[in-house]
């Protein structure tokens, strides 16, 4: 089931969180706020980092994710199948490409240059939907079932559902790997209610 106000996610994990976003329709107001487990030293990645450094795109790339959504565990592998009109397409229906401004799908930038903490951008994807993005970390260390990843970039994305509710996502990109962690939460007034957590379990990348 797809939520009308769904904040779309990067192709590598979108299919896992469709159900999580849909679950916000029935999210409990008794949920408690949860902080990020990742650490951030607030030190920029050395050199001129680009979005292309954080999302490898090649036919045959495969990522396996495991997530918890609404108390249920879901595991899904996503494979890049080919190229269509310049976009790399996967078996989850995702479309991504790199251009001079960053990593994007066909509606918005998912990670935009410059890669710097505090960098912001937005995307108007429909008359009633405006997505806002901010890079909140540039040298984050995070551990997932796939291992420990250093020098990660974290992007916070949000989309208002109504006058009091806002859907929020936090995407963690590891250099040379792609997305290693996604958290989805529902902000309802002063409460931040966890909706889903997805982490990388394994990956296989083809030479670019």
| pLDDT tens string 55-106 | 999 999 999 999 988 788 999 999 999 999 999 999 999 999 999 999 999 9
pLDDT score of 190 more than 70? yes
Please name each of the domains of the chain with its CATH number.
14-204 (2.40.360)
The model's pLDDT over 144-169, given as tens digits with 9 standing for 90+, comes to: 999 999 999 999 999 988 888 889 99
Nearest-angstrom CA–CA distance, 200 and 76: 10
Residue bearing tokens 């998912």:
110
Residue 108 φ/ψ region, left for φ over 0, alpha for ψ in the -120 to 50 degree band, beta for the rest: beta
pLDDT of residue 70: 76
Looking at every residue in the chain, the average pLDDT score rounds to 81
CB–CB of 169/182 below 8 Å? yes
Nearest-angstrom CA–CA distance, 4 and 22: 8
Helices then strands, each counted (H, E), the chain: 1, 13
The model's pLDDT over 111-151, given as tens digits with 9 standing for 90+, comes to: 999 999 999 999 998 888 889 999 999 999 999 999 999 99
CB–CB of 23/195 below 8 Å? yes
CB–CB of 162/154 below 8 Å? no
pLDDT of residue 161: 84
pTM given for the model: 0.80
Residue bearing tokens 């959504």:
69
pLDDT mean over 42-46: 40
Bigger pLDDT: 8 or 133? Answer: 133
CB atoms within 10 A of CB 173: 27
pLDDT score of 7 more than 70? no
């Amino acid at each position: 089931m797809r939520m009308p106000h769904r904040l779309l996610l990067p192709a590598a994990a979108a299919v896992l969180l469709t159900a999580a976003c849909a679950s916000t329709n029935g999210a409990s107001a008794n949920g408690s706020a949860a902080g990020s487990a990742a650490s951030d030293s607030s030190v920029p990645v050395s050199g001129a980092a680009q979005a292309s450094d954080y999302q490898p795109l090649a036919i045959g790339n495969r990522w396996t994710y495991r997530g918890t959504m609404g108390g249920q565990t879901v595991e899904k592998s996503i494979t890049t199948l080919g190229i269509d009109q310049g976009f790399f397409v996967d078996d989850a229906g995702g479309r991504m490409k790199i251009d001079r401004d960053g990593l994007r799908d066909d509606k918005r930038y998912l990670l935009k240059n410059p890669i710097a903490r505090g960098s912001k951008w937005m995307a108007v994807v429909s008359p009633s939907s405006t997505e806002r993005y901010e890079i909140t970390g540039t040298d984050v260390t995070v551990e997932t079932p796939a291992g420990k990843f250093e020098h990660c970039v974290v992007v916070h994305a949000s989309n208002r559902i109504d006058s009091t509710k806002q859907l929020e996502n936090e995407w963690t990109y590891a250099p040379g790997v792609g997305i290693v962690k996604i958290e989805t939460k529902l902000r309802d007034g002063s409460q931040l209610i966890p909706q889903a957590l997805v982490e990388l379990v394994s990956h296989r990348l083809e030479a670019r």
